[in-house]
Structure 1
Amino acid sequence: VATCGSNTVSLAGWWLVAASGARQLPQPSLSLHPSQGVSLGDNVTLRCHVPRSPSRVYLYRDNSPRPYRSADTERGTIDFSLVNINSDDAVKYQCQYEISGSGQTSEKSDPVELVAIGEGSGDGDWPWAVPTGSRP
């Protein structure tokens, strides 16, 4: 502990932060393509945008703690394809990345929700991919 003027600073705490490399990695973002007009049986691409490469990218579904899929990328984006989607695919998705060789892992992206025609909702609304954080 050191005293600097009237402020007391814990050098041990600072050392721990500096030694652990505790800088937060930027959060990735996730988007769906197409983002509207998705029907059961269609193909959908979930695109994760990562600000740092090379990275191992993880795709999560429905708030599961375990990744649904993973892939490596040398560039800033990675696509995960959902082929012939069914009602089980109409859930929330998130992505996360890990910097190769460092063990540093980002926070998960904001979730997006895949909504598809043919789910039996009966409300007649056009389906879309919803960033769940923007709902009122």
Structure 2
Amino acid sequence: MITGFLSLLCLGLCLGSEEEKNNEHLPKPSLSASPSTAAEPGSNVTLKCQSHFQNVTFMLGKWQDSGYRQEQSSAGPQAEFLLTGLAPPDSGSYFCAYKRVGSQVWSEKSGPLQLVVADYHDGHRALSRKKATRIIFVTTVSCMSILLLFLSVFFIYRCSQHDPSHEENQPFQISQEGYGLKESQEVTRAELNAMAPSEAASVPAEEAPDLGDMQS
């Protein structure tokens, strides 16, 4: 009896050691997201865990939350975990693992998969920054356009003015003409002064006979 008990004990230990040995060599699964790892609030995302064996139990976990756990048995080599009505708190790094039927030993964890659920507040702030940048750009372009227009008008106005050399010569010509007019006026005055004594001398000579006739 003792011999039979020892034989059963040795057989159980051997089977346990063999199972643990097989479980230690379970390759790690892969985890992917569909349609994308970036989701909007309220949308759905499917996380697919892929193993190399069939008839296994899959487990989905979250690195930041040790209490998060989903399990699903599958007859095939993969399992799909549907996440519905996503919200910003659902963002995080996910992983999956699997174990064979009747075993309590899980395989190695898959590589981390980062799921990002957009936040409306962050989107609103990003939109505000984008709008402010656009306003600054439009204002800068408008100011530069107005400055260029002002410079163009000023340049055209300057080019439309008369030639400076013509303006400088015009006063000189006027002064020359004025000087010539003054000279002619002075010459006329001198001629009048010269003619005045001769006219005065001729007047008594003509009036003398009239006086003699009056006396006779």
TM-score interval w.r.t. the shorter chain? 0.5 to 0.7
Structure with the higher strand share, 1 or 2: 1
Distance 1:67 1:51 in 2: 24
Residue segments in structure 1 that go unaligned for 5+ positions in a row: 1-14, 125-136
Matching of residues 23-102 of structure 1 within 5 Å: 23-35=24-36, 37-66=38-67, 68-102=69-103
Q: Structure 1 pair 69/118, CA: closer, same or farther in 2 (3 Å)?
A: same
TM-score by length of 2: 0.44
Q: What root-mean-square deviation, in Å, do the aligned CA atoms of Structure 1 and Structure 2 show?
A: 2.4
* Sequence identity percentage: 29
TM-score by length of 1: 0.68
CA contact (8 A) 2:88 2:118 kept: no
- Flag the structure with more relative contact order, 1 or 2, with Cα contacts below 8 A and sequence separation at least 6: 1
Instruction: Kindly state the Cα deviation for residue 102 of structure 1 after the two structures are TM-superposed.
Output: 3.0
User: Does the residue aligned with 1:21 lie in a helix, a strand or coil?
Assistant: helix
Instruction: Kindly state the Cα deviation for residue 85 of structure 1 after the two structures are TM-superposed.
Output: 0.1
Instruction: Kindly state the Cα deviation for residue 120 of structure 1 after the two structures are TM-superposed.
Output: 4.3
Structure of greater Rg: 2
Distance 2:116 2:69 in 1: 18
Residue segments in structure 2 that go unaligned for 5+ positions in a row: 1-13, 127-216
User: Does the residue aligned with 1:97 lie in a helix, a strand or coil?
Assistant: strand
Q: Which AA in structure 1 matches 2:109?
A: K
Distance 1:71 1:27 in 2: 17
Corresponding residue for residue 8 of structure 1: none
User: Does the residue aligned with 1:68 lie in a helix, a strand or coil?
Assistant: strand
User: Does the residue aligned with 1:56 lie in a helix, a strand or coil?
Assistant: strand
Instruction: Kindly state the Cα deviation for residue 115 of structure 1 after the two structures are TM-superposed.
Output: 1.0
Instruction: Kindly state the Cα deviation for residue 35 of structure 1 after the two structures are TM-superposed.
Output: 1.5
Instruction: Tell me the alpha carbon deviations over residues 71-118 of structure 1, each in whole angstroms, 9 at most, x when there is no partner.
Output: 101101101111010011111100010111133320010010101222
